Structure 1
């Protein structure tokens, strides 16, 4: 019996090859898109789950408010991890990670700059699941100047994973012995390092400095420990340990410090929430955004629903032609349950074929999707464990739901009425189908508006005046690698034709190189007269090279020795000081964590505010100090031959240090990288919106075909009575256009609300403009009308004799 169902289904589908192809294509398109989004969502939700104790691991964050400025850090004080382990019985283990940039690594005669380096406590392997290939994890990071590396690094430098006992030379002077080799970290990790250096190598790791926050601290709680109760103990921990140091520095006890409106608090974030729910200062890597997971998850559901709706609509559109087939089958004795089984088998067969095509399409499109989304998703055995059952359930569920309406509806026809040509009134009832059309275009319009809003915001960001000029600025990284030759390199680059300016510092608006300090207006270090600011060391060419404008005062000068004690502040810092004229005002900068010593500075200039962080945040205080920082060299170019000038700069580098790597970027690209997630989101939104519109149009095409079939004789009579093509097209189109208008009315406030919420994440944003709404509405109407017109014109041009010859 089942074999007969399949054979009959195959013949029926083959007979209506056009509708079958559209049905399969629309469903396959929806399923393939849905699968790609599911891959993305699953990948985002998989971060850090490779840790076997992930549900018990938490990171300590610092929430600081001082001088009217809030700053939240993913890092915490150096002694915190030790206090966790020593004083709290619910703590099983704790460890710290300290990121201090990279080193130059010797490989024969070649020098390679490695950035993926971090200092780690010996308890690293007690907290995180990092499988050790060679070495003893219990002792691997105990001794100073020891390092644990990944298998990729071991093979790169030693051509084998058996690297324990071998040595690295860092920066031509530091010797580190390999004590362990671990497997490469999974892609779904919130940190990605290749070198784990022993924390004992860093003197600052042993400091009892509770007012400095440089260490990413993780705590592993014991099984059954109540994290809420543990977190409730953290305020007392800070009061007991940081309080005395606050008293020494500011002459305030902890309670008085907080009652003055300041804050110095610890909080915990679950390890599994870091990637999607944490974007603080001092993160170890660029994290994702849970909002995008929610958005793409909803889009996947909507696209799948639209595809199923289309399937049902197209099946219904064909069903009228099969009414007489049902009548004949019933007269010949076919039971209703067999008719239901027949229709459902056809639906499931189409769904199965569409699913197979969708899987193949998703697999082939995965590399393209990875390139667009910045992912590296791959299908493996672990993926198939959940993917295959999900696909089988999808085939059955979609096949049953999509085929249920025609199956149960058609099988209920009375054979006598059908054979007389009297179809059930159910064919006239279009409330369900009308609702589905409204739903489809509601989603389409929301996505169109969303896409335009995202595009406008990204365009606004790229064109906004940031307060500095990033155009044609080449940033040469790791200039400190040149040692004593850094000044020589700077001077030689400055002399090249086409170079408009050169400044040497790692503190750039587009870099992650930052330093935050509290600067006081009084020698007594009164917290009410303090500014929590970024304090950057720059040279006298910094402002002209980046075209940062002076509002008042003057720039640093290499001709004035007193400028070593000079400061230039931005407008925000000057405003927070609460003085009318900050020029020549003395400022006091603590020179150590305990503020036992401090240096007196004088303000010589005020610069216009410039954006040095994401445009999601307001501009915070910046204080520039005159000095030498060899983090990087920024070269302002003024030439049409950028490639040629870059080659000359590279030659200068190689002439000074031929074995060292020349690493560079352009400031424009560094800026764009800060908004890569939004750019990718915009691109993906455009693709998903286009696919949603295509799928929705297929559904509208099916309904238009259905309406034309139901009104064939009416159209014939109207043509005989003199109606022209335009009259008939208008008659068939107006009902659908009315549904699209309803969808527009519902979608506009919905889309406006959610995109307005998204824009609130930017301190600097473009408001939703009226033309975005109008353009989206007009586009939806135009797309709908073009789709409907194809079937309407076809019906209007048909010979009326054919439709009326049986009457």
Structure 2
């Protein structure tokens, strides 16, 4: 029986090659898109799950409100890990990571440095928590001594080739020597720790103090014992706050935790599962750029929508051509066929078509995967050897075939043979209503994707063009300025003399991804918490304000003519507002006293800088201060214009003269700024790609339906032409029904798109408003696309010789 079903199905598919092609290609596009998105989603969901006991590893997060600032931190106080391990037997292991930024690294005895993007200090218990295998060295003794390090297999090959690196030394930043005591397997790329290749012993870090509960600088991880309920264990942080943090606030600030709470301030600690970090954490001091679970949800919905549109195409074309199968059904029923056998026949055709589409979809996905990886910033490999994938593909082919073919099968098999053979069956009843509903559904999704793409690109354009309060154009950032050692100032002066250079400055702090440093400030003579302000403190030189084109709201910037400026400070408008100074210039403020020395460093406010966006546009502008202090991180150069290549070459020449053997790395500030929004840019590109695919799939179905409509109304068109109807009126007649459906799709899809994109925009403190014209534009585009799709068949039918159409039976 199955063999007969397959044979008849194959004949029917071959008999109607045009509609078979539309169905197969449309379904293949939907399946290929769905497959690519599924690979993307599975890739995103796999982060940090390869670690042993990943379900028991947690990071300690900190939420702090103090001095008018709210901070969500991925770090905890220095003593947290040690204290949790000491006081709570539920903790099996604990460790800390302290980021040290990028470093220049070279093997001792050589002169050429290489750039390491991220070097960190870690406790030796790092390997107990994450259980990353040590492939060389004693796993029980690595990182237990100062000035020791563990490197990845990748770095071992990079610096030592095939030599055994154990016992050999690497020089960091030309001044600190570390002995390699271990080589670890490369940390999986699907981890928020994936960028770590070089681990330094924590005992070398001078910031590490076991009594400093006020400094939140350490990414802290706990491995809980089996059976420990994390939610219940979190309640122990209340005890930690009272027992340790409360003593610190009382000692340093003269205020208890209760008094802080009454004033609106707070400190809270919480556990975050390590497997949630990549998708659900966007905190200050993350170890890398995480993704966003919203995008997983969005793309999952897009995958479902695309597959739904493809299935809708199949159902539409199958029910539309029901008249061509009606007599077949009538004859077969008259000869004794049961309805169940007819249903099986039509479902077999649907499943066969589904598998043809699936085979084509897999080929399309394999061909498109490199382009998709480039678009999404991924390195996804096609799972050729994954048996589960192929099993899932077979199940998908069957399920999609049944889903897409179920309604046509039951619809066609329900025809009454007597009515069909007499030609009395009404084929345009509920089948026509269903087709219309499905066309509306298809274009509703397309309209939603078009509007979503427009909003994303409008927001990205807003980010690019918004006045930020500083000028990021024509600014060159020369990185790793500490490689210049004592010649950094001389380098800056030489660069400033170049004909195409306007000015330059040396700093580690920029309003693009760079160093950050928070401090608590108080007005002179007041140490009350409610008088404090938590703000960034940036180390700058005399030319910083000029180089970034910052504007002064009041007072003046730093000037070399005033020696007293070494104790001066610049603040932004937000800081002035929080401090409550009507006229801040001349007022004195001091940093929160050091816990041990009790020393107060006092500054005189020289000027107020107009607010500028020194953080992402997702955040409101916070409080910021600048002090006159040497810094060697970056040399920032403002260019006048002209031949940038020549100027960069001149700067590189000066670098090689003053820092021989050191890598010359640079980037333009606008590129650095754009990197903050790379995920949104990728989302926009992916969105527009799948919006186009959804339109193509919808158009394939609309093309087939318009062809069928023109075919079904051939005689009507002939009669109308004989009676004097023009080509334009006939085209309008055939098109208006479809345009009505597209208009309904616009009406239904627009409010859903508005809600979804308005929710997405809430992630940005500064964002565009969704304008009415965006919906009008999307609607006009959808109508134009629909008209172009159906016009070919409509014009072809309208131009047909009426003699031929009236003679045809």
TM over 0.5: yes
Aligned to 1:56: 56
Contact map agreement 1:567 1:602 (CA 8 A) in 2:
yes
In the other structure, the counterpart of 1:394 is: 396
Deviation at 1:656, TM superposition (A): 1.2
Determine the structure 2 residue equivalent to 1:360.
Answer: 363
Give the alignment partner of residue 346 of structure 2, picking from 343, 347, 351. Answer: 343
Displacement of 1:119: 0.8
Match of 1:254 among 251, 254, 257: 257
Structure 1: stretches of 5+ with no match in the other structure: none
Q: CA deviation at 1:322?
A: 2.8
Of residues 607, 618, 621, the one that matches 2:620 is 618
1:131: how far off?
2.3
After superposing the two structures, state which structure 1 stretch, 714-723 or 655-664, moved more: 714-723
* 2:570 corresponds to: 568
Q: Distance in 2 between matches of 1:594 and 1:713?
A: 97
Aligned 1:641-652 pairs, distance under 5 A: 641-652=643-654
Q: Deviations over 1:104-163 (max 9, x none)?
A: 211433111212211111111111131222233222121112111111111111113843
| Alignment-derived partner of residue 283 in structure 2 | 280
Per mean C-alpha deviation after superposition, the further-off stretch among 402-411 and 264-273 is: 402-411
| Aligned twin of 1:65 | 65
* Cross-structure match for 1:685: 687
Matches of 2:121 and 2:382, distance apart in 1: 34
**Matching of residue 675 in structure 1 with residue 677 in structure 2:** yes
Aligned mates of 1:804, 1:5 — CA distance in 2:
37
Aligned to 1:458: 460
Q: Deviations over 1:481-509 (max 9, x none)?
A: 11111111111111111110000001111
Residue aligned with 1:225, SS: coil
Q: Could you tell me how far 1:330 is from its partner in structure 2? A: 4.6
Tell me the SS of whatever aligns to 2:570: strand
Q: Does 2:314 correspond to 1:311?
A: yes
Residue 655 of structure 1: CA displacement?
0.7
Q: C-alpha separation between the residues in 2 aligned to 1:593 and 1:370?
A: 50
1:209 paired with 2:225, answer no
Q: Matched residue of 2:618: which SS?
A: coil
Shift of 1:582: 0.4
Cα deviation, residue 381, structure 1: 5.7
Per-residue CA deviations over 1:454-478 (Å, capped at 9, x if unaligned) read: 1111111100110001111110111
2-11 or 582-591, which moves further after superposition? 2-11
- 2:744 aligns with 742
Q: Is the 8 A contact 1:511 1:670 kept in 2?
A: yes
Question: SS of 2:113's equivalent?
Answer: strand
SS in 2 for 1:430: helix
Shift of 1:338: 4.1
Distance of 2:266 and 2:417 partners within structure 1:
80
The aligned counterpart of 2:303 is: 300
Given candidates 263, 266, 269, the residue that maps to 2:269 is 266
Structure-to-structure mapping, 1:123-142, within 5 angstroms: 123-142=125-144
Residue of 664, 667, 678 corresponding to 1:665: 667
Provide, for residues 211-244 of structure 1, a one-character-per-residue CA deviation record: whole Å limited to 9, x for no partner.
0011000111111112122111202202210111
> What are the Cα deviations for residues 8-29 of structure 1, in whole angstroms up to 9, with x where unaligned?
3333222222211111111111
Contact 1:50 1:129 in 2 (8 A): no
Counterparts of 2:523 and 2:33 in 1: how far apart (Å)? 59
2:328 counterpart (325, 330, 349): 325
Q: Distance in 2 between matches of 1:105 and 1:198?
A: 16
Supply the distance in 2 between the matched residues of 1:210 and 1:320 (Cα, whole angstroms): 79
Aligned to 2:80: 80
Aligned to 2:796: 794
**Contact 1:732 1:792 (8 Å CA) reproduced:** yes
Residue correspondence of structure 1 range 87-126 to structure 2 within 5 A: 87-107=87-107, 108-126=110-128
Query: How far 1:424 sits from its partner (Å)?
Result: 4.3
Q: Deviations over 1:591-617 (max 9, x none)?
A: 635571011110011111110100011
Query: Is the alpha carbon distance of 1:428 and 1:439 closer, same or farther for their aligned partners in structure 2, counting shifts above 3 Å?
Result: closer
Instruction: Give the C-alpha shift of residue 394 in structure 1.
Output: 1.2
Q: Does 1:47 align with 2:47?
A: yes
CA contact (8 A) 2:28 2:357 kept: yes
Aligned ranges for residues 138-287 of structure 1 at < 5 Å? 138-160=140-162, 162-191=164-193, 192-287=195-290
CA–CA separation in structure 2 for the residues paired with 1:798 and 1:401: 38
Alpha-carbon distance in structure 1 between the residues aligned to 2:229 and 2:207: 32
Q: Is the 8 A contact 1:245 1:594 kept in 2?
A: no
Contact 1:161 1:181 in 2 (8 A): no
Match of 1:510 in 2: 512
For the Cα contact (< 8 Å) 2:376–2:682, is it kept in 1?
Answer: yes
Is the deviation greater in 334-343 or in 66-75? 334-343
Q: Secondary structure at the match of 2:114?
A: strand
Distance 2:403 2:181 in 1: 60
For residues 337 and 528 of structure 1, the distance between their equivalents in structure 2, rounded to whole angstroms, comes to: 78
Report the Cα offset of residue 205 of structure 1. 1.8
Aligned equivalents of 2:163, 2:780: Cα separation in 1: 62
Aligned counterpart in structure 2 of residue 725 of structure 1, from 724, 727, 747: 727
TM-score (norm: length of structure 2): 0.96
CA displacement 1:642-701 (0-9 Å, x = unmatched): 000000000100011221111111101000001111111111111111111111112222
Relative distance call for 1:419 and 1:91 in structure 2 (3 A) is same
The 10-residue stretch of structure 1 (774-783 or 405-414) with the greater mean CA deviation from structure 2: 405-414
Q: What is the alpha-carbon distance in structure 2 between the residues aligned to residue 26 and residue 806 of structure 1? A: 31
Deviations 1:75-115 (A, max 9, x none): 01111001111101211111101101233211433111212
Which sits farther off after the overlay, 716-725 or 74-83?
716-725
CA contact (8 A) 1:100 1:118 kept: yes
Partners of 1:589 and 1:598 within 8 A in 2? yes
Indicate conservation of the 8 Å contact 1:134/1:161, yes or no.
no
The answer on whether the counterparts of 2:251 and 2:595 sit within 8 Å (CA) in structure 1 is: no
Report SS of the residue matched to 1:453.
helix
Alpha carbons 1:343, 1:407 under 8 Å: kept: yes
CA-CA distance at 1:68 after TM superposition: 1.6
- Using the TM superposition, name which of 7-16 and 639-648 deviates more: 7-16
Please give the secondary structure, in 2, of the residue aligned with 1:699. Answer: helix
Cα drift, residue 414 of structure 1? 4.0
User: Which residue does the alignment assign to 2:27?
Assistant: 27
Unaligned 5+ segments in structure 2 are none
1:784 is matched with which residue? 786
- CA drift of 1:712 comes to 3.6
Separation in structure 2 between the aligned mates of residue 139 and residue 380 of structure 1, nearest angstrom: 39
CA deviation vs aligned residue, 1:507-550 (integer Å, no higher than 9, x gap): 11113211110111033422222110000110110011110011
Q: Secondary structure, in 3 states, of the residue corresponding to 1:674?
A: helix
Q: Distance in 2 between matches of 1:290 and 1:621?
A: 30
CA positional deviation for 1:355: 0.8
Confirm or deny: 8 A CA contact 2:85 2:92 kept in the other structure.
Answer: yes
Contact 2:43–2:380 under 8 Å retained in 1: yes
User: What is the rounded CA distance, in whole Å, between the counterparts of 1:466 and 1:2 in structure 2?
Assistant: 69
- Number of residues paired by the alignment? 806
The superposition leaves residues 777-807 of structure 1 with CA deviations (integer Å, 9 ceiling, x where unpaired) of: 1111222222222333333333445554477
- Cα distance change on mapping 1:600 and 1:362 into 2, 3 Å: same
Moved more, 402-411 or 682-691: 402-411
1:318 deviation in Å?
Answer: 3.1
The match for 2:542 among 540, 543, 556 is 540
Name which of 469, 472, 475 aligns with 1:470.
Answer: 472
Return 96-105 or 530-539, whichever deviates more.
Answer: 96-105
Of the three residues 707, 710, 724, the one matched with 1:708 is 710
Give the alignment's TM-score, normalised by structure 1: 0.96
